[in-house]
Every structure is written in C-alpha cells, then in structure tokens.
Amino acid sequence: MILAKADAVVRGLVGEILARFERRGYTILGLKLMHVTQDQAKRHYAEHDGKPFFPGLVDYITATPIVAMVIEGEDAIEGCRATIGATNPIKATPGTIRGDYGQTIGRNLAHGSDSPESAQREVAIFFNDQELFPRAHVLGDWISAK
Ligand code: IDP
C-alpha cells in the first residue's frame, strides 16, 4: 500500500507520485483522498510508538487529507520502495520520489509497505472491501508477463 502523505497533497505532488507507479506498469486496485484519524495513524505507525518522533509523525499524516493507494504488480513491494527511495530524502537517490522532491525525514512525501504482511495489515486500516477492485488482476498479470 502506498500513501501520498500530507506534504505531497499540500505541495500538489499527488499526480507526480501516482504517475510514477502507473508508468512502472503497476495496477491500481484502490485509490482515495481521505482524512486519516488519530486512531488510524497510530495503528499504521504502531512499530514506531514510543520513539521521539512518533507524536510528530502522527500529526504529520493527520494534518491534511492524504491519498491512499493499493497497487499490485510483479514484486510490487520492492519496486515501489525503490521508486519511493530512502527514508531520509537527503540519502535518497535522485530519480526516486524522495530524492527528487524531499528535503527532510520528517516530510518525506510517500509511504510504501515494506512486506506483504505489512501491506495486508495497512490495507485493512485504510480501505474496506467495497473500495478495492480486484478485477484489475487480469490487467496486472497481462502487463507483467514473463
Ligand atoms: P519508511 O517510511 O521509509 O518505511 P520507517 O523507518 O518505517 O521508514 O519510518 C516511517 C516514517 O516515520 C518515515 O517515512 C518518516 O516519515 C518517519 N520517520 C522515521 N524516522 C524519523 C525521524 O528520525 N524523524 C522524523 N520522522 C521520522
């Protein structure tokens, strides 16, 4: 699951971010502009609870609406994380989302799930079944045929 976080929305970079995943050939299964509740933010970032930056992180993704996306494709998790770039934009390679548009770790524009288990957990926090369109599987298989 991908999030275009609050700074991406405020800066008008949602289209740019979304386009990068579309251009790689991934299939969009779900996509919405939404306000993240405190509860959703805390569940999503539960692994960071207790760290000094946790309150600021929750504030960050609840500050304005964000865009949540579920996408799929061959090795999509690894591919999406590569497209997003390193957590700290200063260390992110130019050509990645964070490397092209980010300045600080506290405003790094995008989130990408780091494992299939995380993706499953996160999708359940942000989407209900009616908001996902699994029929796109057919296109996903076709476009990434080996
Ligand atoms: P990731 O987003 O690249 O997977 P994680 O280590 O899972 O990175 O951290 C989740 C998010 O927490 C980061 O994207 C960033 O927004 C925030 N974050 C991580 N470390 C720091 C920090 O040291 N200061 C402020 N925010 C941080």
Taking alpha carbons only, the member of 39, 36, 87, 40 closest to residue 66 is 36
Taking alpha carbons only, the member of 12, 128, 16, 13 closest to residue 70 is 128
3-state helix, strand, coil in the chain (%, to 5): 50, 15, 35
User: Helix 76-84 vs helix 14-23: angle between axes, to the nearest 10 degrees?
Assistant: 140
Exposed e or buried b per residue across 31-50, where buried means at least 16 C-beta atoms within 10 angstroms of its C-beta: beeeebeeebbbebbeeeee
Ligand 1 binding pocket includes 83 (Cβ within 6 Å): no
**pTM assigned to the model:** 0.94
Predicted confidence at residue 123, as pLDDT, reads 98
Query: Angle CA(111)–CA(116)–CA(121) in degrees, nearest 5?
Result: 70
- C-alpha–C-alpha distance, residues 137 and 143, integer Å: 10
Q: CA 4 from chain center: how many Å?
A: 6
Coil/strand/helix, residue 104: strand
On whether 98 is known to bind a ligand per the annotation, the reply is yes
Residue 24 · residue 37 · CB < 8 Å: no
Q: Is the ipTM of this complex over 0.95?
A: yes
**Per-residue pLDDT tens for 83-136?**
999 999 999 999 999 999 999 999 999 999 999 999 999 999 999 999 999 765
To test the ligand 1 pocket, which listed residue (45, 90, 108) has its Cβ within 8 A of the most ligand atoms? 108
Predicted confidence at residue 143, as pLDDT, reads 76
Query: Domains (ranges, CATH) in the chain?
Result: 2-145 (3.30.70.141)
